[in-house]
Amino acid sequence: SMSVTQELIGLFTDAEFDAIPEHAVEMTKQAILDDVGIALLGYSMAGGPIVEYAKAVGGGAAEAALIGDGAKLSCQLAAAANAQMAFDTDFNETGPGHHIMSSLVQSALAVGQRTGASGRDVITAVATAYEFSGQLHIALVDESVDAGQGTRHIPASVALTAGKLMGLDAERLNHALGLAWFMIPMPTSVPFWHEWWRRRGMFHLAMAQHGMVAALLAEQGFEGSRNIIDEDVHYDLDAV
């Protein structure tokens, strides 16, 4: 039988635009447009340091644009910087999944620019990833939420969003998921987590960049732990 991880990856391999309910398509379109708008707002508010960071550490192919600035960087850096600028406005959607839409949208748009994806492709990837993230967020056991573990699945959701648009097959997506899960950025203890959140931190920059790197590594043939969600004690798998 299929593992829970494989079943969840099937959401992505089987996802087709025409199968998404019309209302969900419209809501996803609105979410994408909204996140581009708030990223532009974030750029105008205090985006300078984020943009300068992305340019300073940049390199590689000019694949995707920094919102507000227009410079083109590698898709992982553009996704991370744009997601953080959107997050910094505090106008993100509210869940389920810890305001994940900025990381999903900006990763999908960045990879979409790299691959020449259509709008239908981007909508499909974002809608599927939002469902995936929501299912995992709901399945978190109460003790894990209280311990600050509620963001564990965000880099994985980004990795699968990017992997879907890169055309990765189920096996490569499984490895991308394993790599992202292994690289989850998490503060060392709950007090530090809450302080990091209060100060806004570089939350989406870290989450988006980790997920994007995982997908890019899987694309190049690197391997992560397969079926990793099945081994994670922070989730009630019967609820997924």
> What confidence score (pLDDT) does residue 61 get?
87
Instruction: Give the span between the Cα atoms of 72 and 60, in whole angstroms.
Output: 10
The pLDDT, as a whole number, for residue 95 is: 74
- In angstroms, how far is the first alpha carbon of the chain from the final one? 16
**Helix, strand, or coil (residue 224):** coil
Answer for the pair 163, 216: CB distance below 8 angstroms, yes or no.
no
Per residue in 27-43, is it b (16+ CB within 10 Å) or e — as a string? ebeebbebbbebbbbbb
At 47 the pLDDT is: 78
Which residues in the chain land under pLDDT 70? Answer: 97-98, 145-148, 150, 185-201
- Residue 182's pLDDT is 83
Distance from CA of residue 234 to its chain's centroid?
19
Q: Decide: 102 and 87 in contact? Cβ < 8 Å.
A: yes
Count the neighbouring beta carbons within 10 Å of the beta carbon of residue 221. Answer: 8
The predicted pLDDT at position 137 comes to 87
Do the Cβ atoms of 125 and 13 come closer than 8 Å? no
Residue 168 corresponds to which tokens in the numbers above? 């990765």
